[in-house]
Amino acid sequence: MAARVAITGLGSLSALGNDVAAHLAGLRAGTVGIGPTQGIDVSAMKTKISAEVRGFVPEDHFDSRQLGLVDRTAQFAVVAARQALADAGPALEGVARHRVGAIFAASVGFHAVDDSYRKLYLEQAPRPHPFTVPRAMPSGQVSHVTMDLGIHGPAFSIASACSSASHSIGTAFQMIRSGMLDVALAGGGESQLTYGMLKSWEALRVLAPEACRPFSKDRAGLVIGEGAGAVVLENMDRAIARGATIHAEMIGFGMSADGMDITAPDRDSAAAAMAFALEDAGVSPERIDYVSAHGTATALNDKTETAALRQVFGAHLEKLPVSSSKSQYGHTMNASGALDFVTTVLALREGFLPPTMGYNEPDPDCALDCVPNAARTAAIETAISSSFAFGGLNAVLALRRYAG
């Protein structure tokens, strides 16, 4: 019989704040963490805004030796993982070392890459930083999480663009449910706020000039954010036996691939991922009380996601709240699924609907209750969190409020 899976630890850093309490307060207050970019010089860019993690001092979290090895992306992941494990209490006590795993998004150390290119090409330095390779490698964050927290079981990274963290959480869920692991840390961090990456996104012509406005008719593109989310997943029986605080229960995971286009989304494939998550959870569409949408605020993505929701939920969509928290903390790319998952857990646990901020005008192509511009109190029992990535790599996670 498949094991039930408890969520016993949460960790986050985002433009709403540098821990879960600040993240929750920002969600409830409708805080928008998007603003003028301060961390790098954007005077030569058209896009002047982003969703930065502010007030993060690396020296407060890492010693001087570590700082030479850990890119900003991995720093965020390690700090979020520390938070999640501390929140879970003695989750690792008495667990055989091979039965604790860590699965995190694969994310390039963009700051290390940007620094090395600047040194080589602009400053004509003879060599980049000697630790550029380990700082830049996509598996860096999960490696640092395992070393920092003493994890010795299965550990690896998953690369599926903006679905990476969701795929990581879903895979950890499957490994616990199947009996392979007792405890797992999962999630992802990302910081693409470098000159090179922002100029690259600008060249793609998908960045919003002023604000992130998911599902609003005047939406004009996404806003790049940075941050990390991490969760501790645990065998439910074990969590109950040790008296753990259980934030929510994870109940399903669905995946699909569009197999069509490297940037444009596909309605049928997105709908399939949602339907597979519901089937895996054993929940009918009518039982879902809230959808944490991918909701990037690009014209095509929001329209396609709405059509996919209509295909899965039918008439139930008329009374189903669907919101995009990227309007508050930006699109954190490979970390976005983890932050959206943490947001969904908090919504279930605390009994509220996170808002879609910046919503100005209804769009007939996005006819949704998107919880516009203010959070809403609601006793929600079951929810899904969706990630639809470039390359058509989709992941949807299903959760249930834990009532004991």
Q: Domain locations in the chain?
A: 5-241, 252-400
How high is the pLDDT of residue 292? Answer: 98
Helix axes 140-149, 72-87, angle to 10 degrees: 40
| pLDDT beyond 90 at 240 | yes
Q: Max Cα separation, the chain?
A: 64
Residue 30 has which token pair? 């409708």
pTM: 0.98
Query: How is residue 356 annotated by DSSP?
Result: B
Of the candidates 23, 111, 144, 162, the residue annotated as catalytic is 162
Write the pLDDT tens digit of every residue in 90-149. 999 999 999 999 999 999 999 999 999 999 998 999 999 999 999 999 999 999 999 999
Q: Is 112 helix (H, G, I), strand (E, B) or coil?
A: helix
Of the candidates 212, 294, 366, 370, the residue annotated as catalytic is 294
How high is the pLDDT of residue 1? Answer: 78
Of the candidates 111, 331, 366, 370, the residue annotated as catalytic is 331
| Residues 49, 202: Cα–Cα separation, whole Å | 11
Residue 337 has which token pair? 């699924």
Q: Do the domains at 5-241 and 252-400 have one common CATH topology?
A: yes
| pLDDT beyond 90 at 258 | yes
Active site residue 162: yes
Q: Find the length of the chain.
A: 404
CATH number for 252-400: choose from 3.40.47.10, 2.60.200.20, 2.40.30.270, 3.40.50.2300.
Answer: 3.40.47.10
Nearest to 47 by CA among 185, 221, 218: 221
Domain spanning 5-241: CATH superfamily: Thiolase/Chalcone synthase (3.40.47.10)
Residue 48 has which token pair? 């002047």
Confidence of residue 284 (pLDDT cuts 50, 70, 90): very high
Name the one residue in this structure whose structure tokens are 């639809």: 388
Confidence of residue 323 (pLDDT cuts 50, 70, 90): very high
Query: Cα dist. 344→232, 323, 337, 338 in Å?
Result: 15, 10, 10, 10
